[in-house]
Structure 1
Amino acid sequence: MSSLDGHNGRAALVASSSLIGGLAARLQGVSGEAHRWGSGLLGVLAQVPDPRDPRGVIHPWPSPLAVAVAAVAAGQMSTAAIGEWAADLPDAVLGSLGAARDPWTGTRVAPDATTIGRLLSRVDADALDTAVGRWLINRATAVPGAVARRVIAVDGKTLRGSGRPGDQVHLLAAVDQHTGVVLAQTDVDGKTNEITRFQPLLAGLDLAGAVVTADALHTQREHARWLAENKAGYVFTVKKNQPHLYRQLKALPWAKIPVLDTTRGRGHGRHDIRRLQTVTCTGPLALDFPHAVQAIRIRRRRLHTATGRWSTVTVYAITNLTATQASPTDLADWLRGHWTIEVLHHIRDTTYREDASRVRTGNAPRALATLRNTVISLLRLSGLTTIAKALRRNSRNPHRAIQLLGLT
């Protein structure tokens, strides 16, 4: 059967169009009940266009996509592993995921690995990221203790196993620093094109009153103007890719400016001391960059305990927020918190072995990254920070995975 939605066991022997038509009629009541999923994950996934050929479809949409998300929540890393995990699911779990019933036995049927792989390769990746991103934003907003000001970290990541060098999938993501939730994701044509995807990435978010942090690649005049127009703050790192601005910052009278924030940290064989200075840049100190009103210098002294040697790194940054809008402590927290997005990438690489994946067909590499983002975000919203341990726990009981997704 030339369908994206295959099935196992005796149902796989169905070949006649009349029998397929009869089964489709039996499923019509289920597939037409997208409204009953409400605002839960199945309802969210139902907003994504169904990419399957309607001929031979067995499972109601979006059941196969929900099975894939649940499998990722149980730590599965590939389409083959997703199919194997789904094949062992009990009937009750498959029912929660909206799977169809075998017309002979009446038991639920799991989509196989081929079905999942074809589906992920053809799914509308933009629609999937948008739907899941909006749902996660709503969930993050409802979490008790949510901070009043949203701080958004923006950074990109190449999926190294998704193709040959120069032809690899590169994704740009926006992460809420406070919750660790992935708010948005988009793809880019290459590392050098990440700049052009900055505004499209953030365009669907409510930026009024938010603060956006980004590395030196995105310290761009167009970005600064656009964020200011959208009533957002920015904190941008400055390096030598902006040579004039970098020279201006370096030439400021830092020796006369007091240290306003000091933080210390230990771990991984290091002892860090970070000292932050800020200065309001008006009049003769004005910076040649749109809306920049404060300059920031961080000097990080690091002791490598194994060698007993100290090293010093100086980092410059700018912001369009005044001293009354952003205190030195705020700025230090936001600059340090930007690494939240690097932690996300590290989890996908080490726990899900994303860079080792050789999934390369169509939209599948990005779609799998979206599913991983979704699960990691939900685990963080649940207060779980040791992601690998949480995935191992879910793998031992499929009910835990669907409970995380709110499908019980």
Structure 2
Amino acid sequence: MTPFPCQPQNTSFFQLLKQTPQLDGRDSRGKYHCIALVITGLTLALCCGRDGNLSSLHRHMANHFDDLCRVLQLTNQRVVSRPQLPRLLAKVNGIVFADLLFQRFGLVLTLQQQAWFALDGKELRGSIEPANKRGQACVSVVAHRGEAIAGQAYYNGTKESERPVATQLLADTGMHNQKITLDALHLIPLTIKTIHEKGGLYLVGLKANQQILYRPWVGSSSVKVADYDRADKPERGHGRIAQRSYSCFAMNRHPLALRWQTSGMQTLVRVVRVRQSLAGLELSRETSYFVSNALVNQQGQADELFDAVRQHWRIETMHHRRDVSLSEDRFRSSQAAVSRLLSNLRSIVLNVLGQDKVKNMVARMEEFADKFHVLLQFMTLKNVL
């Protein structure tokens, strides 16, 4: 069984936010604005393509405030002012909000039939201050099938590393026992050992800087016949033709170094990607390597790993949508809490609109921008309102 969206609950997401007092970090005195209403208003603004600028998001929320209150059956509410908005957002408990988000819009995981997920990080470029080269960064876990976001965590790129954040994210989301694809940054004993011991499968990039693994295994694969291989059909696009060929080799022919012996490594996967011009001239040839704890005894098992390599780039598609469709990189904020909260709201938009089988996400967002009442109906149907 593949992952699927959590089943709708009787309580709407707005009511869930409203009924969670731990979400609001403000002092109990002088609370003039409903924090659940503000979050919901911003989510609707994101669905209408108003991302990239907090003032634009605020204007949309203010322009449609009365309509939203009418649907939610709220009275005596007033719009938060533009100067007050970032201060209010900074008081939202990000950990509590993320738990509520993925409890409602996340994925149901099963141990019996595991699913493939990709893990990778992304810089929130709008959070980078002028004197720095790094800012806030987001680590996401995305389903290969459907591109639903199953979990997110954040870290400060100027002070922290992605590796421990990614390891903790897998633990917090319970995904150590699933099937995970990761890039070469996460080829460290702690991460892959934990996945292996929890009964999950990993497929991790292998690069030359991991010399203890790279030299013997890559060298061996260059002179031995692959246990299983596959050549995909050429793909035509962007004025060129690309073709991928895959091979996998058992890794039990040579002993592993001590630090890797508990990682469960079984298989080396080699991917060769050749790009040619339409005239047949070879433009580039790229060879990549991956290691996995999956034991391959038949072609079907090899094909699953080959497909997982290809599907890992689903997470890059998700990042592209965040940047192009939702303008994430254009959103500037010097407050980490605000950048992280808006990033989580984008995940709601991606997961909710990604379930829509009638129209693609861009078409839906354009319709919502023109017809706000359609958005209200859609979000009510999805149990957001």
TM-score, normalised by the number of residues in structure 1: 0.80
| 1:160 to 2:125 alignment | yes
Contact kept? 1:207, 1:231, Cα under 8 Å = no
Residue of structure 2 in register with 1:183 after alignment: 150
1:367/1:61 Cα in 2 relative to 1: closer, same or farther (>3 Å)? Answer: closer
1:254-292 Cα offsets, whole Å, 9 max, x none, are 45226522223222223211111112222x334443210
Contact 2:240 2:276 in 1 (8 A): yes
Q: C-alpha separation between the residues in 1 aligned to 2:47 and 2:297? A: 42
Determine which of 117, 132, 152 is the counterpart of 2:86: 117
Task: Show the 5 A alignment for 1:199-238.
Answer: 199-207=167-175, 209-238=177-206
| 1:344 has 2:318 as partner | yes
Deviations 1:14-72 (A, max 9, x none): xxxxxxxxxxxxxxxxxxxxxxx944321443445112343332344422111111211
1:261 maps to what in 2? Answer: 230
1:40 is aligned to 2:40: no
Q: 1:295 to 1:149 in 2, by over 3 A?
A: same
- Match of residue 74 from structure 1: 48
- Check whether the contact 1:94–1:109 (CA below 8 A) recurs between aligned residues: no
Equivalent in the alignment of 2:3: none
Q: SS state of the match for residue 244, structure 2?
A: strand
The answer for the alignment partner of 1:399 in structure 2 is: 373
For residue 101 of structure 1, report the CA deviation from its aligned partner: 2.3
Shift in Å, 1:374: 1.4
SS in 2 for 1:69: helix
SS of aligned partner of 2:196: helix
Larger radius of gyration: 1
Q: CA deviation at 1:242?
A: 1.1
Q: Count how many residue pairs are aligned between Structure 1 and Structure 2.
A: 360
Distance 1:363 1:277 in 2: 45
Match of 2:219 among 233, 248, 251: 251
Deviations 1:320-339 (A, max 9, x none): 11115971221121111111
Instruction: Say which SS state the counterpart of residue 183 (structure 1) adopts.
Output: strand
Relative contact order, higher structure (CA 8 A, sep 6+): 2
Tell whether the 8 Å contact from 1:69 to 1:371 is kept in structure 2 after alignment.
Answer: yes
- Contact 1:287-1:293 within 8 A present in 2 as well: no
For 2:27 and 2:277, the matched residues in 1 are separated by 59
8 Å CA contact 2:127–2:135 kept in 1: the answer is yes
Greater mean alpha carbon deviation, residues 155-164 or residues 285-294: 285-294
The 10-residue stretch of structure 1 (300-309 or 190-199) with the greater mean CA deviation from structure 2: 300-309
Alpha carbons of structure 1 residues 373 and 75: separation in structure 2 relative to 1, 3 Å: same
In structure 1, what is the Cα distance between the partners aligned to 2:216 and 2:103? 40
Tell me whether 1:131 sits opposite 2:81 in the alignment. Answer: no
Structure 1: unaligned runs, 5 residues or longer: 1-36, 103-107
Shift of 1:112: 3.9
Secondary structure in 1 matching 2:172? coil
Asked if the contact 1:216/1:239 (under 8 Å) is kept, the reply is: yes
**Aligned partners of 1:294 and 1:230: how far apart in 2?**
18
Quote how far apart the aligned CAs of 1:382 are.
Answer: 1.9
Relative to structure 1, is the Cα distance of residues 273 and 349 closer, same or farther in structure 2, using a 3 angstrom cutoff?
same
Task: Find the counterpart in structure 2 of residue 383 from structure 1.
Answer: 357
State the distance in 1 between where 2:328 and 2:34 align. 29
Q: Which residue of 1 aligns with 2:242?
A: 272
Q: Give me the whole-angstrom Cα distance separating, in 1, the residues matched to 2:214 and 2:95.
A: 36
Is the CA contact (8 Å cut-off) linking 2:226 and 2:249 kept in structure 1? yes
Percentage identity across paired residues of the two chains: 22
- Secondary structure at the aligned position of 2:270 is classed as strand
Alignment match, 1:10? none
The alpha carbon displacement at 1:313 in A equals 0.6
Alpha-carbon deviation of 1:182? 1.2
* 1:328 and 2:302 are equivalent in the alignment: yes
Residues 375 and 220 of structure 1: is their aligned pair in 2 closer, same or farther, counting only changes over 3 Å?
Answer: same
Distance 1:137 1:281 in 2: 36
Change in Cα spacing, 1:170 to 1:242, as seen in structure 2 (3 Å) is same
Aligned to 1:31: none
How does 1:339-378 map onto structure 2 within 5 Å? 339-378=313-352
User: Under a length normalisation based on structure 2, what TM-score does the superposition of the two structures give?
Assistant: 0.84
Separation in structure 2 between the aligned mates of residue 183 and residue 41 of structure 1, nearest angstrom: 17
Q: Which amino acid aligns with 2:193?
A: R
The amino acid across from 1:86 in the alignment is: M
CA RMSD in angstroms, aligned pairs only: 2.7
AA in 2 matched with 1:159: L
- Deviation of 1:212 (Å): 0.8
Report the Cα offset of residue 240 of structure 1. 1.8
Superposition map of 1:85-124 within 5 A: 85-89=60-64, 91-97=66-72, 100-102=74-76, 109-124=78-93
Residue type of the partner of 1:252? S
Moved more, 187-196 or 219-228: 187-196
CA contact (8 A) 1:74 1:394 kept: yes
Distance 1:400 1:287, change over 3 A: farther
Do residues 65 (structure 1) and 39 (structure 2) align? yes
Give the structure 2 partner of residue 291 of structure 1. Answer: 264
- The 3 A distance-change label for structure 1 pair 239 and 89 is same
Amino acid paired to 1:299: V
- Aligned CA distance change for structure 1 residues 42 and 163 (closer, same or farther; 3 Å): same
